[in-house]
Amino acid sequence: MSYHKYLWYLGAFSAVLSVKLVIVSLTALPLKAQSIEVSLTFPPGAERGAPARTAGGGQRDDQHAECNNPNSPLTALTPTNNVVKTVSANPTLFVYVPKTEAKTSRFEVLDPQGNAIYSTTLALHSTPGVVKLKIPATVSLQSGKNYQWQFTLNCDPNDPTDKEEVAGLIERTELSSDQKTLLAQTTEPLKQAEVYAGAQIWQETVNLLAQLRHERPQDSKVSDAWKELLKSVQLDAIATEPLVECCTVDSAISSQ
């Protein structure tokens, strides 16, 4: 083969190889840039006779000073039936605390017999927003049992009847084998939240999204997912409220 012909073949081969490499690269690009599509609509659960998830001020009369704005009430972030299902022995609950004159609050967890297994007094900060209430590791909820929780604003430290309160039910449950498989197939928190939502497991759904809101405050997908979740449980009014560090523990008692 002549030297000129060799150069011609080498050039042609290089050109074909370059084209193939470009095609492979372009084909791979959409996979890297592929967006994650999730649905965070939470399905409704059966009514279980749970208390109201929004404080109505029923414990107070006209002689009591207003604890907060009645148009922006204390509200639990829970499903429409106010039953929080969780796979955790120590779940985290979320409550919207409006601007309030109250300086302290009380958070309690009661067992199925109505006995307090966790009770703590919290000092409130002034900034309104969504706060998290963590049940500590010293308290372990058992599967298949229904617990009640209560969060109370102490409006007047000299008058125990002047208060605002929200309460709800907690039920610890177990994941099915199919749900465990779905969770194991993804490391993306938004997709994991979607799996939990589909299984009607509220605590892990809202907790994952709350963590993402804290870690990715500028991520529009996270913001949209949070709003979609709250809208699906008729909590649109507080969907844009910030997550705040509201409370410090003044005192606590816990028991098994």
Residue 86 belongs to a domain: yes
Which domain, by its residues, includes 236?
75-254
- The total number of structural domains in the chain stands at 1
Residue 132 belongs to a domain: yes
Q: Which residue has the tokens 């610890």?
A: 172
User: How would DSSP label each residue in 101-157?
Assistant: S--EEEEEEE-TTS-EEEEEEEEEPS--EEEEEEPPTT--PPBT-EEEEEEEEES-T
Residue 47 belongs to a domain: no
| Angle ∠(54,137,203) on CA atoms, nearest 5 | 40
Residue 181 belongs to a domain: yes
pLDDT in tens, the chain (256 residues): 555 554 445 455 454 444 443 344 434 444 333 456 778 899 887 787 788 888 864 444 444 455 766 678 899 999 999 999 999 999 999 999 998 888 889 999 999 999 999 999 988 876 789 999 999 999 999 998 999 999 999 888 788 778 889 999 999 999 999 999 999 998 999 999 999 999 999 999 999 999 999 999 999 999 999 999 999 999 999 999 999 876 655 444 444 4
Residue 15 belongs to a domain: no
pLDDT for 175-212, tens place per residue? 999 999 999 998 999 999 999 999 999 999 999 999 99
